[in-house]
Every structure is written in C-alpha cells, then in structure tokens.
Amino acid sequence: MSGTSSVGGRGVYEAGDQRNVKDSEKNEAQRYKEGQPNSHIANDSKDERSIANKLDRESKRENESEPISKEARDYQADPTLPAKKHGNEPSKGAKIDAELQQEEEELLKKKGIK
C-alpha cells in the first residue's frame, strides 16, 4: 500500500534507516554510562532505567554533596535579604532571625570557634 502514497517515493519508506546493533557490540557497552549527562530525572516515574542502575546511582549520590547556589548562600548569610532585594521591609521573623544569627556569631567569636 505504501507504493500508492502521494507523500513520497518508495525510497522514503524503505531506505533501511533502522540498523540493528551487532550482538558483539551490545555486550561490550557499559549500559549505565551510555546516556547523556542529566538525561535521567531521579524521581521520574516513566524513567526506564533498571533497578540495578537506579540503586547504583543512589549509592554514588550518597557521597556527593548537593551544590548550593550563590543566591541560597546569600540568603543563609542574611535572612532579611530576600525582602530587601524586592524592595520590601523584612518581616518580624526575618529580623529576629538576623538578630539571633548575629548573637550566635558573636558568641562563637568569643569562644574562638569562628
């Protein structure tokens, strides 16, 4: 029936684009490392990685530290920064957090820890 199509010639459908991998090449490949970096989302329910590969990845992730963005570090240093950055007055809780943080830093400096 593809011979009667007006979309394209027979070569479009029968060009042999699909090529099978040789069995010898299949066994040599390291299956876990074939994909591109960040091509798998860890919590994706439709991800088709094997359970062994998921367990392997999680065991490697235990040793990694999660990167903290510059913005998150700035917010940790000054709890009032997000409000100030948006042109608002910091909330009462943010002001109290800033005071507590300053007091803790002073105590640590007195003890010689920081």
Nearest to 60 by CA among 35, 27, 33, 28: 33
Token readout for 22 is 């040789």
- pLDDT confidence bin for 104, thresholds 50/70/90: very high
Token readout for 75 is 């917010």
Tell me the one-letter amino acid at 18.
Answer: Q
This prediction's pTM? 0.41
Q: Within 1-114, where are the H helices?
A: 10-13, 23-28, 51-61, 70-77, 81-85, 92-111
pLDDT top residue among 33 and 96 = 96
The Cα 4–Cα 10 span in angstroms is 9
The Cα 11–Cα 5 span in angstroms is 12
Is the pLDDT score of 49 beyond 70? yes
